[in-house]
Amino acid sequence: MKPIILAIVIYLISTFNMNAKETPQIKVTVDSKSFLVTTYDNATARSFLALLPITITMNDVNGNEKYRPLESNLPTSAAVPPKINAGDLMLWGANGLVLFYETFNTSYSYSKIANMEDASGLKEALESNKATVTFELIEI
């Protein structure tokens, strides 16, 4: 009995470690400033990753986010988040890419793509009304 339990524990630990290593990360670059975002494990994020690398001009919306419609729709799993955090990368509707640079509450629904652990300097990097942003997959 003990060898079976040990085998199950080892399997679960190895599966957890593999999944942790497989979480793709994206480098977001605005001018010469780069930020690291970690993707969620969902269809929206996987479809966005398939578009990379891309460089786009994003327009300011509401003084708290940059927005750009994508050329094609992505799968969605929209929900109202408890809070928007600076550094969240989300999809509004089926093709509206949104990069938030402020933290606030919202009643809008979004599909999660990725989040930034450290958004220090993001707001300053995105300060122009139209920001050129590059998204590229970091190979692990």
Extents of the domains making up the chain: 25-138
- pLDDT of amino acid 61: 95
Residue 22, pLDDT score: 72
pTM score, whole prediction? 0.83
What's domain 25-138's architecture? Beta Barrel (2.40)
What is the distance between the alpha carbons of residues 62 and 138, in angstroms, rounded to a whole number? 30
Compute, in degrees rounded to 10, the torsion defined by CA atoms 107, 128, 31, 37: -10
pLDDT tens series, the chain, 140 aa: 554 543 443 444 444 444 445 789 999 999 889 999 999 999 999 999 999 999 999 999 999 999 999 999 999 999 999 999 999 999 999 999 999 999 999 999 999 999 999 999 999 999 988 999 999 999 76
pLDDT of residue 2: 54
For 29-80, the DSSP string reads EETTEEEEEEE-SSHHHHHHHTT-SEEEEEEEETTTEEEEE-SS------B-
d(CA 82, CA 78): 13
